[in-house]
Amino acid sequence: MTATKRTIEHGKRDGFASLSGGGLKQDSFPLRLFAKGNAKHWNPADIDFTQDAADFAAMTDDERWQCCALAAQFLAGEESVTQDLQPFVAAMAAEGRFADEMYLTQFVFEEAKHTQAFRLWFDAVGMTSDLHEYIEHNEHYMEIFTEALPESLYALGDDPSPRNQIRASVTYNHIVEGTLALTGYFAWHKICAERGILPGLQQVIKHIGDDERRHMAWGTFTCRRHVAADDGLYDVVDERMQELMVPAMGVVTGTVDRFPEGRVPFDIDINELAEYAMDKLGRRLGAIESARGADLFVIDVDAEPEALEEQFHAEDQRELVAAAAG
């Protein structure tokens, strides 16, 4: 008996992926991420920010400004990614990839939790007035979050083609998460770990960083499977990275450009951050490139994108232990 090919796309459904022969492929990459995420659930409301409020009150005005600017970029960024991932969920349904759709629903939920966590932190330290001034001075930030990110994601609504999926994933997973957020976490860790301050925020960053490793791994996986299926699409990865490199670096340096060199609060070293961002980007690009010519069945279960993020994490941990000791 031959299996009937059924569709699960919205408005065209004539069957159900979960009822099909063989069931859901639990060892596929997205379902492994889904299971991992379920096991790592955390609740932002459980985090105690009492000491953070005291540490915040004890800062100098410049330090407080710098802290708010970084946290406001995160808060607005988490809200943006919560909203802007949703066209990708629909694109996976259009492609009949229910396992990816399942994983992306968890992914969206986690971004909403991240938004909640940063908002709770601002509330706890008493910053309840309008916070837009902390992001609007950074023109590159505004360009990425009000133009590049939504434009590339909502393009999937009209055309969820592999090309558009790559442009969306590079923008979302590799630039916004893989470069901007990752560099931001690194900055937070260094500020907090070296001074032993903001313990609540340290916990938030640890949980969020952990979630983000799965998000970025999914992005790498998605680009890999398209590049493995059509080698010409590697150029789309490269092209989108090039388009966003300058604004992405502008966001990183724009975070501290209000202060003269050598006077940046918390001794933030912008060159170190920029170098960190570029290194991660280059290596993630390498992981996508390694999928060129690969077998799609291998890509579907290959753990390389996950292993890469775990390796980055282990490197960061070593660096932060050294920073805390020094």
Contacting residues toward Fe ion, per CB under 5 A: 78, 111, 114, 177, 212, 215
Q: How far is the CB of 192 from Fe ion (least distance, A)?
A: 18
Going 264 to 76 to 114 to 24, the CA torsion angle's sign is: negative
Of the pair 52, 212, the CB lying nearest Fe ion is at 212
Of the pair 73, 164, the CB lying nearest Fe ion is at 73
Write out the two tokens for 243.
């388009």
- The CA distance from 255 to 270, in Å, is 9
Of the pair 69, 117, the CB lying nearest Fe ion is at 117
Q: How far is the CB of 251 from Fe ion (least distance, A)?
A: 15
Of the pair 46, 261, the CB lying nearest Fe ion is at 46
Going 213 to 153 to 75 to 34, the CA torsion angle's sign is: negative
Q: How far is the CB of 117 from Fe ion (least distance, A)?
A: 9
Q: 98 to each of 20, 39, 145, 253, how far by Cα in Å?
A: 11, 20, 28, 39
Q: How far is the CB of 95 from Fe ion (least distance, A)?
A: 21
CA–chain centroid gap for 301, Å, is 22
- The CA distance from 106 to 112, in Å, is 10
Write out the two tokens for 280.
């991660």
Name the residue among 3, 2, 212, 26 with its Cα closest to residue 110.
212
3-state secondary structure of 266: helix
Going 255 to 219 to 107 to 308, the CA torsion angle's sign is: negative
The one-letter code for the residue type at 219 is: G
Of the pair 52, 111, the CB lying nearest Fe ion is at 111
Of the pair 84, 212, the CB lying nearest Fe ion is at 212
Residues across the chain: 326
Going 32 to 106 to 227 to 96, the CA torsion angle's sign is: positive
Show the DSSP H helices in the chain as ranges. 29-39, 50-57, 61-84, 86-94, 98-124, 133-136, 139-143, 149-158, 162-169, 182-195, 199-229, 234-254, 270-289, 296-301, 304-325
Of the pair 189, 215, the CB lying nearest Fe ion is at 215
For tokens 């290596």, the residue is: 283
Of the pair 52, 78, the CB lying nearest Fe ion is at 78
